[in-house]
Structure 1
């Protein structure tokens, strides 16, 4: 087998293994992740986290914020010949009325205790600024003294950098107002907050253009940067509605420093709309909501919010329809947001056209006004191209040129890494479960001055949720990894008992096959689908090696008997053959019957005749190719591809997995003409990408490949030109496949998802070489990391 280090710790037992066959794995699935790492659940609670994220992606969710309302309450209104009075007395009264029994302010069920400290300190400053409600102030001081006296570093691990900096700024302001906040013996973590803020300010003072170069996770809370911030310079970041980043608190601070009338009008409207208080963000920019969804997907935790994401996309799809009233607000009019909407809708199988979202913005020159972040969004949208979509083809060309130029000139490490990843491989060809490891690592490695691409936004909502999402993604990864380790142990026993003796060729496919199944179908409850996928992949690989190495196994006559045995489903036909042929024929029939039984039980009807036929068809085409080799026959490229698409062996792997995915699959679904065409295109794609990566290794690939047949038919093309031509054919196939699989006619999730998994696994395994034959160093690293390296507990 492929050599990887053994895990350093035994995974927690999360599964019940059926020892009678050693393959049936029952996952005790619940909505909340289970496992040995309970830190996140103890500190936050899955339900609290889930509620916060759901609220964030709900376009109609606007809970009022004590922190922001207190900031609005602080805005003064000058009176002629008298002392200033509150410009929004109703906000100040709201603060007085909404103190909790323990002396704090904030949500009834905050995500962290720090949220209450944050809101309470803001409310105390508002009350003390106007020298009102002394009883409320006294209770609030006592609450913070008691809370801060015992606060530990662990309580700050889920708090964003911007919030920490803003809190330290409020501590300083509270002391100037004479509030008694800090306990007698100030805890080290409070001193650390103050010290960190001092360092931040010292560093920012050295930045020439603070507005352009300040880390966004700090600038998202400008009220924490007052000593160094040019408030007039903030005007260039002011939104059309008058707000600063849609944040009432940031806008209130801006009003107090600049007396900006447009910002004041924004706050006045909010106070009226939300009954004397304000939310933490209004309106929630659509681009930020879509960025949160994208973040959830890249962290591989989106399945916990699938219903909410679907509701959001349904709304966006309805709003994009031509007969819908055009009620879009200005925050969704830019081409960057439209690109994000288009990509999200198309990627999730909605019927949309690029013209609806991108034509106007490209025609009126909006593209020329985009920065790197906007161009990245436009580039990702262009990757979702279907055949004949010239607008997306044009968009891909102009964004690629721009991003390559940015890559060469930019000094922003996070941005360059994001561009490199985007240009290196298509977004829709990546497995989220694998990408999540790299994505989390990037956040772990980032420091305050080096933001990740996700953090290059002014949304304090995203920065507040970000540490929580990262922490939860780690827990999810670790718990899923434990499940995969158990499944891999079971599959390894099956492999050792049945197939290891046959690995006398080049390939040892178990780990690469299971990696593709696990990263493609990561949901714990898809254990059976992963098992069926892996066993089918291993069987196809071993049988392929048998036919490739015919001279070692009774030659062509032995292969003909093997084919006849499978065709009649009669193992006695190979009794006169060598041991390897006899063993493999019997093993194949036994394993296929076992797989048929599992699929039949999953679907509630006998699928054995149909599923046996899939294998019989594959073996028949294996034999056809072997006879070509034996006789010296040279097929046309068209004939080769027609045969090779079947002999590549994806049929048994894909269809068996579909039947075990957990959804009822009718005969009509797999006999539909569109489905059959998509199935054929996936098979062709698999054959071509394999040939492209192995065409120069004739000793392994045999005398036939699509490139060789193509070169023979196009003698005027050089090898490089022929390779490029076939590469273009491959790209065209990929576009056709995705136009089929992302068609909303496919109501079956298992059909669509399994084929997408197959496309991505082909890209993963054959991106450089044949990953089943030559397991690259990078692939070995991914296997080791994905199955055996846990993220450290919080």
Structure 2
């Protein structure tokens, strides 16, 4: 909750020098019950004084220099009870026209030339080339086609003759796309996807046999199946959805067609042996209308264990059985299955299920869907369609998490505008899928679009597990629902609170599953889930989050439904390459800035003040971790300098200065134009005032350069207010008084330590002076509830654009500082805690990143179709 330019406020925690009532970082950075209330009031201040604002930042990232210390001072004053203006109690933002131009930052976005001019030029060209390739990806969605689904479309008979295919082009595609080993499916197949190859191959064999063509291809395919059939029983391999039902069923179909399947009895027994003990359980968990379907098919699914407390419901089973209907053939109740038909004519957006349904029912909408696919993709179809909304939203989410979204603002805005249009029109492609709906909601809300949380109610715990995704335990969908649930901004969004609860518990349970943890295809999603659970959005700092995202980003976009597929818009090496290059560029600039700030401290003799804590690393960390873009260099430096000065002044008023020195410092700031060698009563006062004056004048010069007017007097006024509030607190300290408005985030963590030291804090006072007898745990929970409520109130003010005239980049400063505080005080007094100190120092010393290696399946460019 730090104003622009202020950085980390005066720190606290245990010190060698005793300080009354635990005077620490929380007191100055707003770790209090008033933290978010005052942030809202500061918005009113900004609006009321916007015509005096000077900003640093591009037109799309306006950052008012006028508000550098505003939040800090406002928070300080509220904790002291000095803000008495009743007008500040309202959160309504007055309508006021913004005047003046916005100044631009000093350009710092060029590629650093670290190894010579030629290398720098090459790096710049590569950087821009990568950006251009990504920009082009917004115009198309690259999706692989599926041999399995194409085979089922190829099996659809002509309405004019049952001996002829309806879609002969698909049959021809099968004839021309068998792999050299006799299989069908993706080339360069990962060994763990052998079951995918087996399922696709048997489907293609059945399609060719159906039309009595491709004898050579059939024989090669049968040989492949015989050679690799043992893999069908290998529990370590990744299975396509419904494999244990559909593969045995298609093997039996092939045997009925008198195909030469030289399969030994033990192998066949192993394929069918696991099903019998599941039959009774399956029959008991689904409706009676489905029982005869299962009993009439000589197969039994080995289904995922459903006894973990999630998803043991009949509707999820029904959806699953409908999704794999092609495995049941004529024994399926196709009229029952048709209740899952979507507006686009498909069943579950699955070409194979839809093709099987059309074969049995001749449904016109199914046919329309299949024809649309072939018009778009040619002679083959993907395993899922449509996917455009999900794919493009995934692009936006990836670019944001990797910290490179600022390079694609126009493209992202275009995607979000189109998504918002679809949202308002109730587009089925968005609302029928949990992951797509949750991702759309989160990205729209975070980017200022007015969206209701009501559509998320269809993905409550019961509803989710009564769906196909819930039955399949879709970790990715649950993760997106969890992320969306963190952006509650209205009191009536209880559905999101419940969603946050059940998704977090479900994901934690799934993380404990050794099968999930140990599977190579789950490696990246496991890391991503762990990250989201550990770092909620309100305590997730940009640069730290980006570095972690780069580590677990999966460039291998292989996913698996009934067959494996890839979408380059979802996982792409260019995303990772640009993210690594961009991170290293920013990190190089950050290291230079930190060196500059270290010299600044020495030049201003601040290191000579033995009573003052040296917190440059913390102050710069809070700036660079949130305002990381190269063009915001002035913002970071200003934030850090003011943060250092605030810490010094705080220590001066608390323990370092006499009453005479404190009064002298305030008088000097009031007069401003003074002779420091004469008017300063001590060397300490001279050092502090000189550093403060030099820094404020520097800010004023930079602001005047861009805006053509002086704001120095405004910054002086703000600092004078801060000094006077510190003087009042020093007076309270001498009189053994303390502010009772609380510093909740810090006090929760510091309660035990401060109680042992005989110090009061907000928890102590609440337990002593509350209206009822409460325990320590109850008091902490109540205070956490207050923090959560005020945090959501602040988030609402940041995200909602209607009626707000404050630029979003300015409002983001409030939210960024809130993130810093939540991270610092997640476990203890982070301003001095050892673990947090290690985090800060590690960030300060970060070297260049290299793209992490992944176990990728080599892409086949020919397998992608332009959509």
Q: What's the TM-score, normalizing by structure 1?
A: 0.63
Q: Give me the whole-angstrom Cα distance separating, in 2, the residues matched to 1:83 and 1:296.
A: 50
**1:755 has 2:811 as partner:** no
Q: Indicate the residue corresponding to 1:731 in structure 2.
A: 788
Note if 1:345 corresponds to 2:449: no
Aligned in 2, Cα 1:529/1:367: closer, same or farther, shift over 3 Å?
Answer: farther
In 1, the alpha carbon distance for the partners of 2:716 and 2:690 equals 14
TM-aligned CA distance change 1:785 to 1:612, over 3 Å: closer
Which of residues 575, 581, 589 is equivalent to 2:693? 589
Shift of residue 497 of structure 1?
Answer: 1.9
* Residue aligning to 2:411: 308
Separation (CA, whole Å) in 1 of partners of 2:558 and 2:533: 17
Aligned pairs for 1:343-382 within 5 A = 343-355=442-454, 357-362=455-460, 365-366=463-464, 368-369=466-467, 370=470, 371=473, 372-382=475-485
1:510-529 aligned within 5 A: 510-529=616-635
Aligned equivalents of 1:569 and 1:79: distance in 2?
A: 92
**What is the aligned counterpart of 1:46 among 92, 111, 130?**
130
| 1:567 aligned partner | 670
* Shift of residue 735, structure 1, vs aligned partner: 1.3
Q: Does 2:487 align with 1:412? A: no
Per-residue deviation, 1:561: 2.0
Q: What residue ranges of structure 1 are gaps of 5+ in the alignment?
A: 3-23, 56-60, 96-121, 130-147, 149-155, 180-197, 215-226, 642-686
DSSP 3-state at the match of 2:240: helix
Per-residue CA deviations over 1:345-365 (Å, capped at 9, x if unaligned) read 22112222222x223554983
Find out whether 1:434 has 2:544 as its counterpart: yes
Task: Describe the superposition over 1:726-782 as per-residue Cα deviations: whole angstroms up to 9, x where unpaired.
Answer: 33222222111111111113451221222222111222333334444x153355246
Note the residue ranges of structure 2 that are not aligned, 5 or more in a row. Answer: 1-10, 12-104, 182-186, 205-213, 218-226, 244-262, 273-298, 302-319, 325-339, 518-522, 853-867
- Cα distance change, pair 465–456 in 1 and its aligned pair in 2 (3 A): farther
Matched-pair contact (CA < 8 Å) for 2:383–2:565: no
Q: Of residues 383, 391, 399 in structure 2, which corresponds to 1:296?
A: 399
Q: Is the 8 A contact 1:76 1:85 kept in 2?
A: no
Distance 2:230 2:631 in 1: 49
Cα displacement string for residues 356-398 of structure 1 (whole angstroms, at most 9, x for unaligned residues):
x223554983465433443333232222112522333333344
Quick check: 1:379–1:395 contact (8 Å CA) kept in 2? yes
Match of 1:788 among 825, 840, 846: 846
* Equivalent position to 2:769, from 713, 730, 748: 713
Structure label with greater radius of gyration: 2
Give the distance between the partners of 2:145 and 2:423, measured in 1 at CA: 36
Q: CA-to-partner distance for each residue in 1:389-443, whole Å, 9 max, x for gaps? A: 2333333344344444445556422555544433333224312321121222234
C-alpha distance in structure 1 between counterparts of 2:108 and 2:652, whole Å: 35
Question: How far has the Cα of 1:623 moved from its partner?
Answer: 0.8
3-state SS, counterpart of residue 403 of structure 2: coil
Could you report, residue by residue, the CA deviation over 1:561-587 in whole angstroms, capped at 9, with x for unpaired residues?
Answer: 222222332555884533222211221
User: Compared with structure 1, are the counterparts of its residues 600 and 709 closer, same or farther at alpha carbon in structure 2 (3 Å cutoff)?
Assistant: farther
* Number of equivalent positions: 618
Q: How does 1:497-536 map to 2 (within 5 A)?
A: 497-502=603-608, 504-505=610-611, 507-536=613-642
Which residue is 1:628 aligned to?
732
From the superposition, tell whether residues 738 and 722 of structure 1 become closer, same or farther in structure 2 (CA, over 3 Å). same
Q: From the superposition, tell whether residues 201 and 537 of structure 1 become closer, same or farther in structure 2 (CA, over 3 Å).
A: farther
1:16-55 matched pairs, under 5 angstroms = 26-29=107-110, 45-55=129-139
**Structure 2 equivalent of residue 777 of structure 1:** 835
List aligned pairs for 1:382-461, cutoff 5 A.
382-389=485-492, 390-408=494-512, 411-413=515-517, 414=523, 417-443=527-553, 460-461=566-567
**Could you tell me whether the CA contact under 8 Å between 1:271 and 1:278 is conserved in 2?**
yes
In the other structure, the counterpart of 1:768 is 827
In 1, the alpha carbon distance for the partners of 2:407 and 2:385 equals: 25
- Measured in 1, the distance between the counterparts of 2:428 and 2:815 equals 35
Equivalent pair of 1:343/1:384 in contact (CA under 8 Å): yes
Q: In the alignment, which of 574, 578, 594 is matched to residue 468 of structure 1?
A: 574
- The two structures have a TM-score, normalised by structure 2, of 0.59
Give 3-state SS (helix, strand or coil) of 1:365's partner.
Answer: helix
Is residue 511–residue 526 contact of structure 2 (8 Å, CA) maintained in 1?
yes
> Partners of 2:561 and 2:704 in 1: how far apart?
48
